Amino acid sequence: MTIHPATLYLDRLDAVVFDTDGVVTDTARTHASAWKRTFDEFLRRRGRTTGADQPLFDVRVDYLRFVDGRPRLDGVRAFLDSRGIVLPEDTDPVDTSADTVLSLAARKTRYFLEDVDRHGVAAFPSTVALLRELRRRRVRTAVVPSSRNCARVLAAARVSDLFDIRVDGLDMARLGLPGKPDPALFCEAARRLRVRPDRCAVLEDALAGVEAGRRGGFALVVGVDRLGLLDGALYERGAHVVVRDLADITLTWRNREPLVAQV
């Protein structure tokens, strides 16, 4: 993994767009734990029914490859497809306990919110410092997760007021927008901020989110790899630069170098 400092040249940027989990709040592990509990329970039930055991959900591999950054239903479908499993989309009206794409997604949400209610949510101090400095310098900010629970998470972390707008899973459903890695959510955020994508930076820790930022033509896509687990995958998906923490980001007004770091 090659980690570089990143410079945001504010004379070339009008806005910065943040993902939530793993970038603003320390909830990526909470999501991963909820997914593991959901899929492990499902795989054990299926193994008892079919007699064919499968490896349990791997947080380091399955979460990052199939689930992280995607809308819940897309994450369920992607993981099941990786195991060659096909489930009905919705609940059988006769057997409401049946495993379906929708029921697995609902269980994951329940487990995640139970953990949030029990343990609370922490925002990364370096992210809070960056957000406050951006706002002090009158740079607009947006938060763009795929989750429908973003407002609840931001409120729990007490950082809601650091963003000018929020575009999340609720907006995606209301507007019929595709989820990441499609850039639609990021482009909607840029539209609401009244800035062009090529005047906006994206900060993302998920492979799908990094790909979305690059596909959307955003000026700078910064991958965040706090644990060093992605082994260059963020670069492969389109990150211009990868940082370990948002404290590695420098703000300046004078652009005497190319906007995109050469790595």
Tell me the domain boundaries of the chain.
6-27+121-252, 29-119
Can you name the CATH fold of 6-27+121-252?
Rossmann fold (3.40.50)
- pLDDT value, residue 139: 96
The lowest-confidence range among 102-111, 180-189, 229-238 is: 229-238
The CATH architecture of the domain made up of 29-119 is: Orthogonal Bundle (1.10)
SS (H, E, C) the chain: CCCCCEEEECCCCCEEEECCECCCECCHHHHHHHHHHHHHHHHHHHHHHHCCCCCCCCHHHHHHHHHCCCCHHHHHHHHHHHCCCCCCCCCCCCCCCCCCHHHHHHHHHHHHHHHHHHHCCCECHHHHHHHHHHHHCCCEEEECCCCCCHHHHHHHHCCHHHCCEECCHHHHHHHCCCCCCCCHHHHHHHHHHCCCHHHEEEEECCHHHHHHHHHCCCCEEEEECCCCCCCCHHHHCCCCEEECCHHHEEEECCCCCCCCCCC
48-93 per-position pLDDT tens digit: 988 888 899 998 889 888 998 888 899 999 999 999 999 999 865 5
- pLDDT value, residue 262: 35
Residue 261 pLDDT > 60: no
Q: What is the pTM of this model?
A: 0.80
225-256 per-position pLDDT tens digit: 988 877 689 999 999 999 999 999 999 987 55
Active-site residue list: 19, 21
